[in-house]
Chain A
Amino acid sequence: MTGPSISDAVIEIQGVTKAFGDRQVLGGIDLTLREHEAIALIGASGSGKSTLLRCIDLLVEIDDGDILLDGEVITDPSVDPVAVRRRLGFVFQAFNLFPHMSVIDNVTLGAVRAHGESRKEANERARQLLERFGLGGRENDKPDQLSGGQQQRVALTRALAGRPRALLLDEVTSALDPELVGDVLDAVRDLKQEGMTMLIATHEMSFAREVADEVAFLHEGRIIEQGSPERILAEPERPETRRFLRRLLAAGRI
């Protein structure tokens, strides 16, 4: 299934399928994420957004197809998944911070243990990143002493600490109170301006509109429509997309 890779493609997904038992969750996904590009992955709950992101980070094994990172097939059994994950950053919907560690230890754990940085250099960089995301002075707090928005920014910092080639963001704002969404949104917008390559699963249409270069609409495990945010959000072609957007509009999420 491996086709010729596009030169500036960072992540290429080619004919990826995944079933849990007899439930087909991904039904043949093709998607290319280029350098400095941000793609928003939208779709109803259960359409397979999280599963796709987890497949890319090799947290879930795919059934068929290929996923490439910088032209290398990473879904081949001979590839070391740990080495792949060290090149990617993942931010979870529920933050998944390590509750027994301080904020700074959350951020430096991967840098020190996975990337072999010295404690000193990891701490310095973590401090800079935390400062940048408005978390200066919170280094020694435990995650449960922070608000949801702060926790998610710590999670974002943790993902960035490994200097990822691309960031995979899984509904990073949907566990947050509406008034806290803005902080995280700003942080992600910032990263985009800096040129970070990102795949963003989201229910938050402001993400799609303000951060993404492309929007891909996932429906029952297939990307049935893809294009610029303006076009997809304003004049979707597929009835499924229209229905999805109408429902979001009714729920006041656009």
Chain B
Amino acid sequence: MVLTSEGWPDVQETFFSADAFKTSFPEILKGFWLDVKLFVGVEIVVLILGLLIAVIRTSKVPALFPIRVLAAIYCDFFRGVPVILLVYLIGFGIPALELSGMPDDPVILAAIALSLAYSSYVAEVYRAGIASIHPSQSDAGLATGLTRIQTLRFVVIPQAIRRVRPPLLNDFISLQKDVALVSVLGIAEAFRIAQIETLSTFNYTPLLAAALLYLAVTIPMARILDHITAREQINA
């Protein structure tokens, strides 16, 4: 279609059709609401799970050694597999197993796949942050009478998070885009709806509409990130 079309009027009609935009936009926006819900839900899980994994991986308690190994394998595995493959594997694989008690709602399965992938990235970000806090801070926390867990909670983790806010936000932005990958499970989110519209009308404007919606959230995030990074450079 693109290859056969010649001249600007055609291009304009296929990519920037005001009519196609108007008819498809409400549906795409509805689908985008699912993207937003998925993204927010997954992000919350990822921030908590990632921190938990990072804390386990940086702990030095001998008794936690087996869990530490498991956490390392978890990170290596989920970081090493393409997200789209994980979405497929979990989205189609788990229902195929027909295990009782397993969720079969594709939205939940998609959320699980994204959470697994992104918690492993975010765990590594947190881990770098925790490792960057000098051990003398832990010493000071312990000497003040705090337990090891309190020292982590009040002394190490707040400083670590402050230090890794830019890379955390970066992963945040990636996740906002990667929620579109769940469309492979047939979930009616913005990209999927736009795709269907495109296929039925041979007009690409709906895809552009979807792209605008993603940009509407990722660009503000990027500006916030710039702002924080700039402020940190001033402080440093």
Contact = CB atoms under 8 A, between A and B. Distances in A.
A34 interface: no
Contact of B143 (A85, A94, A113, A115): A85
A162 B144 contact: yes
Most chain B CB within 10 A, of A81, A85, A94, A115, is at A85
Interface string A114-132: 1100000000000000000
Contact of B136 (A89, A94, A115, A162): A94
A224 interface: no
Contacts of B145: 82, 85-86, 110, 113-115, 162
A79 interface: no
Most chain A CB within 10 A, of B139, B141, B143, is at B143
Interface stretch (B39-47, B54-62, B104-112, B154-162): B154-162
A45 to B, nearest CB: 18
Chain B facing A: main interface SS: helix
Interface in B126-164: 136-137, 139-147, 150, 154-155, 158-159, 162
A113 B137 contact: no
A82 B137 CA distance: 16
Contacts of A158: 144
Contacts of A86: 145
A92 B144 contact: no
A59 interface: yes
A116 B146 CA distance: 11
Given A96-B136, A98-B137, A100-B162, A114 B150 contact: yes
Given A109-B146, A110-B145, A92 B140 contact: yes
A98 B140 contact: yes
Contacts of B155: 98
A133 interface: no
A68 interface: no
Nearest to B136: A96
A57 interface: yes
Q: How large is the interface on B (under 10, 10 to 19, 20 to 34, 35 or more residues)?
A: 10 to 19
Nearest to A99: B159
Contacts of B159: 98-100
A86 B155 CA distance: 17
Contacts of B141: 98
A59 B143 contact: yes
Interface of A: 54, 57, 59, 81-82, 85-86, 88-90, 92, 94, 96-100, 109-110, 113-115, 158-159, 162
A96 B141 CA distance: 9
B72 to A, nearest CB: 26
A115 B146 CA distance: 9
Contacts of B140: 92, 96-98
Nearest to A158: B144
B169 to A, nearest CB: 19
A82 B147 contact: yes
Nearest to B144: A110
Given A57-B143, A96-B136, A114-B146, 12 more contacts: A59-B143, A82-B142, A89-B143, A92-B136, A92-B140, A96-B139, A98-B159, A109-B154, A110-B144, A113-B145, A114-B145, A158-B144
A85 B142 contact: yes
A70 to B, nearest CB: 16
A88 B137 CA distance: 17
Contacts of A85: 142-145
A90 B143 contact: yes
Contacts of B136: 92, 94, 96
B144 A59 contact: no
A82 B147 CA distance: 6
A114 B158 contact: no
A82 B146 CA distance: 7
Interface string B183-222: 0000000000000000000000000000000000000000
Contacts of A162: 144-145
Nearest to B143: A90
Contacts of A59: 139, 142-143
A113 B139 contact: no
Nearest to A98: B155
Nearest to A59: B139
A12 B159 CA distance: 37
A114 B155 CA distance: 13
B181 to A, nearest CB: 37
A100 B147 CA distance: 19
Contacts of B150: 113-114
